[in-house]
Structures are given as C-alpha cells and as structure tokens.
Amino acid sequence: MSISTNIPLSFPIPGTWITVSSAGSSTSTQTYTVVIIATASQGTTNTPVLASTTSGVQSVYGATSDLAKAYTRYRAVDPITTVYLVNAASSEATDITAALTSLGDIPANLIISPFNTAAAISAFDTFFQSRWSYNSGLDGIHVTAASDTVANLVTLGGTVNSAYSSITAFAPGSTDTIAEQAAAVGAVVAQKASADPALPIQGITLNAALAPQTSTFAIADRTAIFNAGIGITKQDTYGNVYLERPRMTYQKNAEGTADDSYQDIEVLNILSYIRIDLQARLNSKFFGANSKKLVSNTTQIVPGSNAVNPNTIKAELIASYSDYVTALYCQDQDTFNANVSVEIQSPGIIAAYYPATVAGVLRQINISLVFSR
C-alpha cells in the first residue's frame, strides 16, 4: 500500500515525526504541564510566568483578577502540577492569540481559560492545529466554561466546532466566575489525564459553587446541551456539583458531516501520550547516537551491521503497540498487527501506517428489567 503521512519530503530534519488523524467513527514517564490564560488588571501581559504560591500570584496580578481567581481555584484541587500563567490583554480573539503565541515552545498539555466565544474558540483552534502538527508535537487541549440558560448554551454549541476545545456548561446564578468554573473543571481533567491518559473523566465532584436550585438543569436540559457540543455538569441537593460528562466541541468534520471521532476528551489525552512516547521511543532506537543504515527488506542484514529495514521498524511498532495495549491505552492487538504497514517512501525516509484503536470509556449500562408475579 502507499502510505500518506502528510509530511513533505522536503522536510529535512532527522528523527521521528508523527501526524494524528481519525479513521472516523459513529512506556515513558511524561511531565504534565498546565497553562492558565486569563485577564488581570496588573502584571505584565503576554509573558508566561511559572506560577509560585497562591498569595504570590494574587499579589502580582491582583486577588480579584480572573487570572488569580482561576489559579487559586485550580490549586485548591491540584497542588502539584506545574502551572504557567499568562496575562491576556483582553478577551478579544487578537489578544488571546497574542497570549497563546507568547508560550513559544513551552509545553501545555492543558490550557485553561474563561474565553468561550466562537471567536475565542477559533483562536485556540488555530493555535492547537499548529501545536498538533508533525513538526511541533507540543499537542494539548483547551478547557473553558459557560454559565447561561439552556437555550443560550445550545446556541453557543452551534457556533463552535473544535477538536481541541472543551466548553463545560454550568447552571446560571452561581457566585463563581467563569474563570473559577473553568479552573475547577481543568483541575480534575489534569489530575485524571496526568495519572493515566485513558482514565474516564465523568461524574467527578467539582470544587465549584452551587447555582440556585431553581436554575439547575434537568436531565432533558443536560441532554440537549451535550448534544449541542457542550459538556455538562449537574448538582444534587446535598451541595455537590459534578462534572457529569465533558466533551470537545467537535461535532462535524471538514466536509460538514456529523463526526464523533474527537467528541470524547479522553481521546486526545491518549493520542497525545502515544505520540510523545512513540516519538521518544523510535528516536532513541534509530537516531542520534543510534542512527542506522537503511536498506530494503530484500537485503540481508548481518548482526552487528547497525542497519535496519522496514520490517525491523515494523517489529518495533508492533512492540510499542503491545505496550500500549498492556497499559490499556489501546486495544485489539491482532487487528493492529494485521494492518500496520511500513515502507521506504524515499531514500532515507520511512513511512508508517499506525492504526491505533484507543481504549473506550464505559458510559452506560442499559438494562431491561422484566418482572413477573
């Protein structure tokens, strides 16, 4: 088969480069890093700062600023993860883009912000398209929140469509700011994803203030909101707010066809882990001090000759997938083995087809209870 990686043959840098795509649908330790982008009335704008203590952040940016409030709420849940802060000049798309651009090559597995308009989501989408490209590999996703009526949230969902941004809906009337609500969601996403990228993120208690009981969303409301592309929360009568089920805003592919490939927030967490791990694994074995000669499969490789062929690399890909299956990040080893493909695309360049089937999430147990008497 002819393998298309969408990496141009003119790209000259040695190493392993990986593109990520969906086929459609209806082990190394990695450091997890969070970035919070919001506005503040004081402090330098568009300058990433490694966050210090909560009191220190409040002093620099102002205790009542969105940036300080988001960080305070985040740290109340997750006191460990590395966090960078960026003070955006405003909530306008151009200023959001400037704040994102200031990150440079700082890794950001998760970016938290209070910016939830269609223009803001588009700015994040453009940023992450670049980060997920083969020659960047920085990956990451964006989490934000919205608090409004059901009708307005459904309308909002119709204006956004990004594989990289997740908006979570909260019932109106809470004393929390959007920045605090987004940080509450982001904190539990970070905790889950950093522990295991395939862990389900649903039904988790949030560090969030209650909305008036009369404003809470009924199950029909939450269903409508979710199906419109917005994640959902619920609250009980005991004073708890739950992240019932987050989702990415992605609903349609480039052709405008309904597509749920990137709907689940867990999918990109898994793909990011695999891409970073696989890239490091192959680079350590086949590049740098371990660089190899490349020959065809019909050429005999003598032990100790420091050479590889497509079959050598294919065996390593199968071994890597076996590790991901063992870790329960992926599944169906036999299908992978039958379909993985490696070929010499051009002198010195290998193209590989890596058909990963990511682990699923148990969402429901549906039972037909039949009784007699």
Instruction: Please tell me the distance from the alpha carbon of residue 66 to that of residue 56, in angstroms, as a whole number.
Output: 15
pLDDT the model gives residue 27:
47
Residue 7 belongs to some domain of the structure: no
pLDDT the model gives residue 25:
44
Amino acid at 139: D
pLDDT the model gives residue 1:
63
Residue 290 belongs to some domain of the structure: no
pLDDT the model gives residue 29:
55
Q: Is 173 left (phi over 0), alpha (psi -120 to 50) or beta?
A: left
- The pLDDT tens digits along the chain (373 residues) read 667 777 776 665 566 777 776 654 434 456 899 999 999 999 999 999 999 999 999 999 999 999 999 999 999 999 999 999 999 999 999 999 999 999 999 999 999 999 999 999 999 999 999 999 999 989 999 999 999 999 999 999 999 999 999 999 999 999 999 999 999 999 999 999 999 999 999 999 999 999 999 999 999 999 999 999 999 999 999 999 999 999 999 999 999 999 999 999 999 999 999 999 999 999 999 999 999 999 999 999 998 889 999 999 999 999 999 999 999 999 999 999 999 999 999 999 999 999 999 999 999 999 999 999 9
Instruction: Please tell me the distance from the alpha carbon of residue 33 to that of residue 251, in angstroms, as a whole number.
Output: 27
pLDDT the model gives residue 70:
99
Report which secondary-structure segment, H or E, holds 170.
strand 165-170
pLDDT the model gives residue 304:
86
Residue 185 belongs to some domain of the structure: yes
Domain that holds residue 47: 33-271
Instruction: Please tell me the distance from the alpha carbon of residue 268 to that of residue 197, in angstroms, as a whole number.
Output: 9
Residue 180 belongs to some domain of the structure: yes
- Domain count of the fold of the chain: 1
**Bridge partners, 288 (sequence order):** none
pLDDT the model gives residue 124:
99
Instruction: Please tell me the distance from the alpha carbon of residue 302 to that of residue 288, in angstroms, as a whole number.
Output: 21
Residue 351 belongs to some domain of the structure: no
Q: Is 101 left (phi over 0), alpha (psi -120 to 50) or beta?
A: alpha
DSSP category for residue 136 = T
Residue 199 belongs to some domain of the structure: yes
Instruction: Please tell me the distance from the alpha carbon of residue 146 to that of residue 97, in angstroms, as a whole number.
Output: 20
Both structure tokens of 364 = 């429901």
Q: What's 92's domain CATH number?
A: 3.40.50
Q: Let me know: does 246 contact 282? Beta carbons within 8 Å.
A: no
Q: Let me know: does 145 contact 116? Beta carbons within 8 Å.
A: yes
pLDDT the model gives residue 12:
56
Residue 216 belongs to some domain of the structure: yes
Backbone angles phi, psi at 89, to 5 degrees: -65, -35
Residue 186, C-beta contacts closer than 8 angstroms, at least 6 positions apart: 34, 36, 74, 110, 112, 143
Q: Let me know: does 287 contact 15? Beta carbons within 8 Å.
A: yes
Residue 331 belongs to some domain of the structure: no
Looking up tokens 């960047």 gives 136
Q: What is the reported pTM?
A: 0.91
